Amino acid sequence: MSKRSLLILGTRTLAVEVADLISEMPGVEVAAFVENMDKSRCDELLEGLPVLWIDSLSAYSDTHAAVCALATTHRSRFTDQAAALGVRFATLVHPSARVSARSSLAEGTIVSAGVIVATHTRIGRHAFIGRGALIGHHTDIGDHVTILPGANIAGKCRVGDAAYIGMGAIVIDNITIGSHSIVGAGAVVTRDVPANVQVVGVPARIVKENISGK
């Protein structure tokens, strides 16, 4: 059976990590990486594969799907570019992850090795869920959210669009994280976090305001 050909939007280290994850997923294979900022990167192979310039993607729209492998929550700029060229997006779940059949993953989302997503949870478009992250039941994760390895988001939480949850952070149950906010690595969130702020510490406290994700 032929494998589905994928394009990885991005050429930095996370793109290489995602390519490795895909190598362990049945039915899919990486055909190329895609660059949208530094055209000179298209002159060399990455992991033995070609690097395509963003403007060429319309030629692949009927035959390939894509995922975006940028850790920044501003990756919406890249996914919007690709979508405007007719590119469709895949949703990827590593075989070692466990996603409840009663939960949903939107297009473009990547669920890494060892992740657990509990029941009745919704994860939006182009989310990146890092290794070993835990997401509780009846939780809502917005579009372009980044959840880094080891983060633990409890049940009945809401994480707004383009929020960034740092490595090892803990979000207790019934908490809302506002859109474009950053939860620092190792923080313990015990109360709602408004939009466009950065919180750190135990318990988490606001240290920066008027930000737009990371």
CB 7 within 8 A of CB 32: yes
Does 127 share its domain with 28?
no
Question: What was the pLDDT predicted at 104?
Answer: 98
Q: Are 37 and 110 in contact (CB under 8 A)?
A: no
Same domain, 102 and 57: no
Strand partners, 110: 92, 128
Residue 64 a catalytic site member = no
Assess whether 177 and 134 both reside in one domain: yes
Specify the DSSP class assigned to residue 17. Answer: H
How many other C-beta atoms are found inside a 10 Å radius of the C-beta of residue 195?
A: 17
Domain count, the chain: 2
3-state secondary structure of 47: coil
pLDDT at 2 over 80: no
Asked if the model's pLDDT at residue 31 lies above 70, the reply is: yes
Same domain, 122 and 180: yes
Non-local (6+) Cβ contacts of 60 within 8 A are 7, 52, 87
Element (H, E) at 84: helix 76-84
Structural domain for 130, as ranges? 92-209
What are the residues whose beta carbons fall under 8 Å from the beta carbon of 135, sequence distance 6 or more? 115, 116, 117, 118, 121, 123, 129, 141, 147, 153
Q: Rounded to an integer, what distance in angstroms lies between the CA atom of residue 160 and that of residue 124? A: 10
CA distance 119 to 182: 25
| Average pLDDT score over residue span 99-123 | 98
Average pLDDT of every residue of the chain: 97
Output the pLDDT for position 213: 87
Instruction: Tell me the pLDDT tens digit for each residue of 128-166.
Output: 999 999 999 999 999 999 999 999 999 999 999 999 999
CATH number of the structural domain spanning residue 153: 2.160.10.10
Residue 214 lies in a domain: no
Please check whether residues 102 and 79 belong to one and the same domain.
Answer: no
List pLDDT tens digits, range 37-63: 999 999 999 999 999 999 999 999 999
**Confidence at residue 141, expressed as pLDDT on a 0 to 100 scale:** 98
Give pTM, 2 decimals.
Answer: 0.95
**pLDDT band with cut points at 50, 70 and 90 for residue 1:** low
Query: Is the CA virtual torsion 3, 124, 206, 196 positive or negative?
Result: positive
Residue 52 inside a domain? The answer is yes
Q: Give me the catalytic one of 74, 120, 137, 138.
A: 137
Enumerate long-range contacts of 173-179, CB under 8 Å, 24 or more apart: 173/136, 179/142
Dihedrals phi, psi of 135, to nearest 5 degrees:
-125, 125
